[in-house]
Amino acid sequence: MILISDVIRAKRDGRELSPAEIAAFIDGYTSGAVPDYQASALLMAIVWRGMGDAELAAWTDAMLRSGEVIDLSDVPGYKVDKHSTGGVGDKVSLPLAPLAAEAGLRVPMISGRGLGHTGGTLDKLEAIPGFRTDLSVARFRELVDTLNVGLIGQTAEIAPADKKLYALRDVTATVECIPLIASSIMSKKLAEGIDGLVLDIKTGSGAFMARRADALELAKTMVAIGRAAGRDVVARITDMSQPIGRWVGNALEVIESVEVLQGRGPADLRALTIELTAEMLVLAGSDATLDAGRARAARILDSGAALERFERVVEAQGGDPRALTDRSRLPGFRSRLDVAAAADGFVGEMDCAEIGRASLMIGAGRARKEDAIDPGVGIEVHARVGDRVEAGAPLFTLCYNEDREVVAAARRLRAAVTIVDEQAPVPALFGERLG
Ligand code: URA
């Protein structure tokens, strides 16, 4: 019999835990047999001592097996998803999922909601009137089979150990720990029934991993977990030191995603969508090189076929497909407030997380899981790092419905940008590739 106090002691003293010890802990914690105080002690010991590769693979596997693992083996073809660690204005999943599906990949995508300064794919999709993300696993499988893509939220049955552990980590100061973060994300992704996974690991002021070294460590750790689980995994480090695209806010990001699906849209959003789709195509063996994948992805976007695919997905998931091209059918905002540059100069650094927090103050995001959001509101971002601006020119426009926090949000936005005399280097969108 394995005593949980021995497991805690072993980790406290820096020993690697065996798969049996890990399973005893994860199974016991999921069932309620292991109390929160023992779980808290073990989590803190992991924060201090870390985890080895084999240990982390066993930990992730135990979390994955704590719940339902979706079996898509009867759906032919290569099943592949993309996961981003999140940020501000990151709507890439919206154009990418129908694009990859149109290119012939099977895309079972289980996404999350926005929390804190980061937005969430589910909230963006649900800005489309009628769109349902709470489909059964059977319906999800059917969508992946018939339309090549299904877009749902995490069900209660997927990785329940992670759900419980994440809530505990939140209140015991044990969230910021790379092995715990990597295993938490990967346990949910591996439950999707995928063959391959493209990871978009964000770094910069709006990212969960603001420091590049941490982003690289997280990427390395997640790739190792995926490999140990027998999946194809590639990770890209990408920039989150300024918002992606021009809009932050749910319905506003739907509109911008549709622009990309029409072969238009902002350059960074289009580039991210194409690059990450190309990575998916190469993982699947559909294209031999990233260049070939990029060319194919661009061709499909420019043809409008991916937009048609998205319309079919929206309809199949209960949404109004006309809302994709008729903005009056999407939730909107009533008022606008410009936030102007205080001086002539160049846009220097942005505190991108602050831009996300300003958007949640006007209702585009949520501070707590239970908070409601206003899908119509958000921020238009006029300036990018390195741009020349004149005093009085708008840097941002707040697009809002409720007056309450708008002045404070404007103040936050103004403080989030530095105006400098010398042109700052424009941050590169793509960094390292691991895989
Ligand atoms: N997202 C997750 O799903 N888990 C973490 O631990 C951190 C971010």
| Whether residue 170 sits in one domain with residue 30 | no
| Whether residue 252 sits in one domain with residue 123 | yes
Q: Which of 94, 125, 82 is nearest to 270 (CA)?
A: 94
| Whether residue 311 sits in one domain with residue 214 | yes
In a domain, residue 66? The reply is: no
Summary count for the chain: helices (H), strands (E): 16, 13
Question: Cα 234 from chain centroid?
Answer: 15
Is residue 186 within 8 A of residue 226, CB to CB? The reply is yes
CATH code at position 415 = 3.90.1170.30
Q: Which amino acid is at 422?
A: E
pLDDT tens digits for range 101-128: 999 999 999 999 888 889 899 999 999 9
Burial label for 337, CB within 10 Å (0-12, 13-18, 19+), is: middle
| Whether residue 405 sits in one domain with residue 380 | yes
| Whether residue 232 sits in one domain with residue 95 | yes
Mean pLDDT over 235-239 rounds to: 98
From CA 152, how far away is CA 313, in angstroms rounded? 11
pLDDT tens digits for range 260-296: 999 999 999 999 999 999 999 999 999 999 999 999 9
181 Cβ inside 6 Å of ligand 1:
yes
From CA 391, how far away is CA 414, in angstroms rounded? 12
Last residue of a domain, one of 299, 324, 349: 324
In a domain, residue 275? The reply is: yes
Integer Rg of the chain from CA: 22
- Mean pLDDT of the residues in the chain: 96
pLDDT tens digits for range 88-99: 999 999 999 999
Determine the residue of 43, 181, 187 to mutate for testing ligand 1's pocket, defined as the one with the most ligand atoms within 8 A of the Cβ atom: 181
Q: Is the pLDDT of residue 367 over 90?
A: no
Q: Is the pLDDT of residue 369 over 90?
A: no
| Whether residue 127 sits in one domain with residue 42 | no
| Whether residue 412 sits in one domain with residue 346 | yes
Q: Which amino acid is at 430?
A: F
| Whether residue 166 sits in one domain with residue 84 | yes
In a domain, residue 320? The reply is: yes
From CA 259, how far away is CA 253, in angstroms rounded? 10
From CA 119, how far away is CA 129, in angstroms rounded? 18
Q: Is the pLDDT of residue 424 over 90?
A: no
Of 169, 236, 270, 312, the catalytic one is 169
Q: Is the pLDDT of residue 83 over 90?
A: yes
pLDDT category, 388, cuts 50, 70, 90? Answer: very high
CATH code at position 30 = 1.20.970.10
| Whether residue 339 sits in one domain with residue 315 | no
In a domain, residue 368? The reply is: yes
Last residue of a domain, one of 324, 355, 381: 324
For ligand 1, atom 5, the nearest C-alpha belongs to 181
For ligand 1, atom 1, the nearest C-alpha belongs to 185
Strand 247-248 and strand 378-381: pairing?
antiparallel
The yes-or-no answer on residue 6 being catalytic is no
Q: Which of 155, 159, 184 is nearest to 43 (CA)?
A: 184
pLDDT at residue number 370: 82
The one-character DSSP state at 52 is: -
pLDDT category, 155, cuts 50, 70, 90? Answer: confident
pLDDT tens digits for range 11-24: 999 999 999 999 99
The yes-or-no answer on residue 382 being catalytic is no
Q: Is the pLDDT of residue 350 over 90?
A: yes
Determine the residue of 178, 185, 197, 199 to mutate for testing ligand 1's pocket, defined as the one with the most ligand atoms within 8 A of the Cβ atom: 185
Mean pLDDT over 172-184 rounds to: 95
| Whether residue 297 sits in one domain with residue 341 | no
In a domain, residue 58? The reply is: no
In a domain, residue 70? The reply is: no
Q: Which of 372, 96, 396, 100 is nearest to 248 (CA)?
A: 396
Q: Which two tokens stand for residue 174?
A: 């044990």
Question: Cα 232 from chain centroid?
Answer: 19
The single residue listed with the structure tokens 């003293």 is: 13
The yes-or-no answer on residue 384 being catalytic is no
Mean pLDDT over 50-72 rounds to: 96
In sequence order, what are the residues at sequence separation of 6 or more whose Cβ sits closer than 8 angstroms to the Cβ of residue 230?
Answer: none
**Ligand 1 centre and the CA of 406: distance in Å?**
30
Last residue of a domain, one of 302, 324, 346: 324
| Whether residue 133 sits in one domain with residue 34 | no
CATH code at position 215 = 3.40.1030.10
Number of the ligand 1 atom closest to the C-alpha atom of 180: 6
Is residue 160 within 8 A of residue 150, CB to CB? The reply is no
Residue 197, SS3? strand
Q: Which two tokens stand for residue 429?
A: 């969108």
Tally of structural domains, the chain: 3
Query: Residue 397 is part of which domain span?
Result: 331-420
| Whether residue 19 sits in one domain with residue 126 | no
The one-character DSSP state at 287 is: S
In a domain, residue 213? The reply is: yes
The one-character DSSP state at 11 is: H
The yes-or-no answer on residue 83 being catalytic is yes
In a domain, residue 399? The reply is: yes
CB neighbours of residue 165 within 10 Å: 24
pLDDT at residue number 137: 93
